[in-house]
Structure formats: C-alpha cells, structure tokens
Structure 1
C-alpha cells in the first residue's frame, strides 16, 4: 500500500490546486502566452495525477523575492503558477514571457510532483538555445532540446518526460 511518506503523489489533487492556479496573469492580459504540455512516465504513458508549479521573473526581469533589489513585480502578475494534469496528462499555464535576469537567459523554473517520486523534480523552460546562459550551456548539447519550449499558435509547448528515452533534464537543487 502506498502512503504519503513513500511518494509525493497521487495525493496532490486533494488540496494543492486552486481554481486560478494556472493563470499567472488574468485571461485578458495583453501579451500573455499559454504554455501547454503533457507529462509522460518512463514507459511513455501520460501521468494523469501530476502537479506542475512554475516560478518566474516578470517581463522586466523582476522576481517576487525580498532579495531582488531590481524593483517590484508588474501589477497583476503573480509570478507563480500551479496546474494539475488532467486525465490525459495535460497541463497549461497562462503567463507573460519572462525577462532576462542578470547573467541568465529568460526562463521559467518548473517543479514537477507526481506519483512514484519521493521528491519533486526541477527543470527549466527556455524559449531559445542561448549559449550565454550558464545553466543551459552546462547541459549536454544532445539533451539541451528537452529544456526548450516549442512555439505554437498562441504560445509554447513544453512536454515533460520523467524518465526513459527523451527524459527531460532535471536539476539537483
């Protein structure tokens, strides 16, 4: 029998999501982008009970953190999103494109919680292969594509593969 002390899921759907969790900005925000994706397990099956959390800088490169001296966040920009996957393993986040922060390319930090994981896994969404970013450039070039979102009609697609062929690069934090 699985218990909460053995895995971080499937207990996530009980209390962690909230109705506007996926909307980092209001639906009618000019310039908003929609990031969609699917979470896959090691066998290539979709994960219907995962939880995706995002944290990012606003378009001006400001973080919602007391140690960020660069200024306040934009109005109506939460900087944090949370979306459970649906029965088909899909998630979405509505946000503004992140700005660059000193020494790093624009990116969104992502935590993934799912059944079978003892701890969350952490990755990043980048919007281009930017060799000037020290984190992205430290990743094996053969695997770097797993961190780069693909443009769509109304935003970007970022699938997450928890293990196996095409596994998303995760960081030890």
Structure 2
C-alpha cells in the first residue's frame, strides 16, 4: 500500500518562512550595480499567493557561481548568489542583487544574464523552476539557447522582467492565462 500524497506546508506561513540569514539580500543595499527585482506570485485565478517562497540562484557579474564545482574558478569574495524571500499577505516578494554575467554552455553557446528561480507554495508537491532574464539585454536574450528553444513568443516574454522606476518587476503566475514558463529539472 502506498502512502497518499499531501500538499507542502503550512510551514511557509510561519514568520520568515524557511529561515535564510540574509533573506532576499543577495547583495547589501548600496552595492554598485545593485538592482531590486520585485513581483507578485499569483495563482490560476489571479489571486495573490500569500505563503509562497521564492529562491534565486545566480552567477556573479563575472559569470561564475559561488560553488566549488564551477570549473571557471573562484567567485569574488563575499558573493554567494543565493536569495530567499517569503511572499507577504499580498503575494509580494523582492530580491536585491546584481546582474550576473553571461554563462558559457557545454556546447560553446552563451546564455544571457539571468537568475534561476525556484517557487515553493501551498499545493505544490515539487518546486517550480523558472528564470528571470534582463530587459536591457535584447541581443543576448535573442541568442540565448534556452529562450530560443521556447517557440511561443508570449512564453518567452514571460521570462523577461519589466523595468520599473525602482528596478525590475517579475510577476509569477502559477497557472492559467499568462502563466509563467516553468522548466522540468
């Protein structure tokens, strides 16, 4: 007999969500080149998801990861490339970071600067994975092999942040009309 599946949670609703010492501050305020990326997590009906957790993982501005398995060498001192933010009661999240460098692929292509994103929320048995691309990189985005593999222009567009007065906006729609493009990993 198998054990029936259950939804994740409700621990996302605890104060602070899943603890991470630096939360959404990938870089401190005042860091040269820092950019604020914010958005809202929405369910299939367009309602805010107040108990989601957004995690971002990215390369440094030189295109290196803060990971010992990165074959290109060490990342600059203090850059960890990871952030975590629980959504608030209105489903909003934010992360302060810097634009990552472009990344080489195993077959010699180059990926445009992007953040890898994991979404955890009630009702999800597994995390959802997507990317945030930068709107000021049209040529790099057009040549990016991941974006190029997405045939539908609206699906590609769902991965590019929108400039705002305060930084960039990237809303995450979990399903339905305007759904964010997610990847199988």
TM-score, with length taken from structure 2: 0.86
CA distance in 2, matches of 1:12, 1:73: 31
Structure ID, larger Rg: 2
Q: Residues 117-136 of structure 1: matches in 2 within 5 Å?
A: 117-128=124-135, 129=138, 130-136=141-147
Q: Deviations over 1:11-50 (max 9, x none)?
A: 2244513352100011221111000000000010000000
Decide whether the 8 Å contact of 1:26 with 1:76 is kept in 2. no
Instruction: Name the counterpart of 2:165.
Output: 153
Contact 2:100 2:114 in 1 (8 A): yes
Q: Check if 1:108 corresponds to 2:111.
A: no
Q: Partner of 1:65: helix, strand, or coil? A: coil
Query: Any residues of structure 2 matched to 1:73-84 within 5 Å, and which?
Result: 73-84=75-86
Q: Give aligned pairs, total.
A: 169
Per the normalisation by structure 1, the TM-score is 0.92
C-alpha distance in 2 between matches for 1:35 and 1:87: 18
Look up the match of 2:6: 6
| CA RMSD, 1 decimal | 1.4
Show structure 2 runs of 5+ residues with no match.
Answer: 105-109
Q: 1:36 aligns with which of 32, 35, 38?
A: 38
2:107 matched residue in structure 1: none
Q: Which secondary structure state, in structure 2, belongs to the residue aligned with residue 12 of structure 1?
A: helix
CA contact (8 A) 2:66 2:79 kept: no
Deviation at 1:64, TM superposition (A): 1.6
